[in-house]
Amino acid sequence: MTEPPRPPGAGDPGSYPPEPTLPGSPSAAEPPTAPLSGAPDPAGYPPAGGYPPPTGDQPPSGGYPPPGGYPPPGGYPPGGPTGGYPTGGAFGGPGGGYANNEDKTWALVAHFGGAAGMIISGGVLGWVAPLVAMLARGSQSPTVRAHAVAALNFQLIWSIVGLVGWVLSCILIGFIGVGAAIILGAVFGILAGIKANEGSLYRYPLSANLVK
């Protein structure tokens, strides 16, 4: 049998006419337009290749600064956070607060010598070693003078207490003063020497500013 004639414009069997396009809608033949620079695409993902790295002191897109924070404009100065901090003890010198090993030696003589003097002399000559340190090195080094003066003021007070105790030893109560002078002079002198070895100036308790 022969097929009946088809109307004009009819295609092959099973084909359908194309759907009409609405005004303003993109045509299937037109390629999709690229999003603006830096803006996410319609699917919400970053552009191809990711976002560019932050420049200057601007934070990244996540809003969190890098470890250690952002450097100031121009970078850190020499010796700043990236170059380490200056070292030194209580007086700012190298080696734990001393300008040289000689200063440290005389500071230790003032403290440990005062403690030894109180023990050897029975509580009356603890001031000798601090006085020697101050006269020998105090005029050349303010650090040594500070240590020697602190030790001298303390040991002078308790050497006087020890001397009075020996004078009153005839009535036995004086031995209390002698024992206190020896124990306190030795204990606090040793503690001050330990601090001086670390580069710190020890503040003696129960002292007075007799020498400045």
Mean of all residue pLDDT scores within the chain: 74
For the cut 50, the answer to whether the pLDDT of residue 170 exceeds it is yes
Predicted structure pTM score: 0.55
Contacts with 159 (C-beta within 8 Å, 6 or more apart), sequence order: 118, 123, 124, 125, 126, 127, 181, 185
To which residue do tokens 């303010």 refer?
Answer: 142
Helical pair 142-167 and 101-121, crossing angle rounded to 10 deg = 0
Q: Residue 85: pLDDT band by 50, 70, 90 thresholds?
A: very low
To which residue do tokens 């603006």 refer?
Answer: 36
Cα angle at 60 between 59 and 63, to 5 degrees?
70
Residues in the chain: 212
**Alpha-carbon span 91 to 141, nearest angstrom:** 11
CA-based R_g, the chain, Å? 44
pLDDT at 73: 56
For the stretch 188-207, pLDDT in tens is 999 999 999 998 999 999 88
Cα angle at 121 between 117 and 125, to 5 degrees?
55
For the cut 80, the answer to whether the pLDDT of residue 72 exceeds it is no
- Say which range, 46-55, 57-66, 156-165, has the weakest mean pLDDT: 57-66
Mean pLDDT value of segment 167-177: 86
For the stretch 92-124, pLDDT in tens is 444 447 888 999 999 999 999 999 999 999 999
DSSP code, position 118 = H
